[in-house]
Amino acid sequence: SQTIHQWPATLVQPVGSPLSLECTVEGTSNPNLYWYRQAAGRGLQLLFYSVGIGQISSEVPQNLSASRPQDRQFILSSKKLLLSDSGFYLCAWSGDGGYNEQFFGPGTRLTVL
Amino acid sequence: AQKVTQAQTEISVVEKEDVTLDCVYETRDTTYYLFWYKQPPSGELVFLIRRNSFDEQNEISGRYSWNFQKSTSSFNFTITASQVVDSAVYFCVLYTGTASKLTFGTGTRLQVML
């Protein structure tokens, strides 16, 4: 069966510090991968998605970036965090085709102080 | 434009009551997909159901049932005999080829009390 891991689970970082969140998927090949952010009490905002190694599409211009160095690894990064980057970050995977259901990881709660 | 409206921000019920969560969607695409996700307090989103626009059959899975009506652009979710473990935020979600991504509603927070 497929599983999706995210770490760390929680993170407190000062403004201006770098960020690296990691997501890995097991039990499937060539998944579509997604990064979402959820602000407190709100729905999910798609940040990035990837259909293959090295292929990244950005939905929202901001100071975040994503990379996919391996088939089942998806990384979210920032060189300098802003206060507005605080939120709950969720990674998800799906089969080929955006119409397929997405399966989400446990999330990372990021607080920028 | 694609849009999902979940007008109920928060619902509180007593255990064993039935509860319906409303979802209204907007799209001009003729082919689209609708989903429901559950987000318990732990935060992880749990997939519940997917429907395509050509399948209007209602679906039942245990205590859960879904009513899809294209005529009113609605995809409502009913929990029968609610339990405390049903307490969560529930999201109705739309996928269209035009948007090429999931469009989430703002969610309905369900609290089931003893």
Residue of B102, B103, B106, B109 for testing the chain A interface, max A β-carbons within 10 Å: B102
Pairing of strands A55-58, A64-70: unpaired
B46-105 per-position pLDDT tens digit:
999 999 999 888 889 999 999 999 999 999 999 999 999 999 999 999 999 888 889 999
Cβ pair A49:B102 closer than 8 A? no
Residue of A99, A100, A103, A109 for testing the chain B interface, max B β-carbons within 10 Å: A99
A49-104 per-position pLDDT tens digit:
999 999 999 988 678 999 999 999 999 999 999 999 999 999 999 988 778 899 99
Q: Given this model, what pLDDT does residue A97 score?
A: 78
d(CA A61, CA A68): 18
CA distance B66 to chain A (A): 16
Place of tokens 């245990």: B62
Structure tokens at B98: 């035009």
Report H helices in chain B. Answer: none
Cβ pair B44:A105 closer than 8 A? yes
Q: Given this model, what pLDDT does residue A106 score?
A: 96
Structure tokens at B86: 């049903």
d(CA A80, CA A43): 25
d(CA B33, CA B18): 26
Task: Give chain A's count of helices (H) and strands (E).
Answer: 0, 11
CA distance B20 to chain A (A): 20
Structure tokens at A43: 């729905």
| Nearest CA-CA partner of B55 in B31, B22, B37 | B31
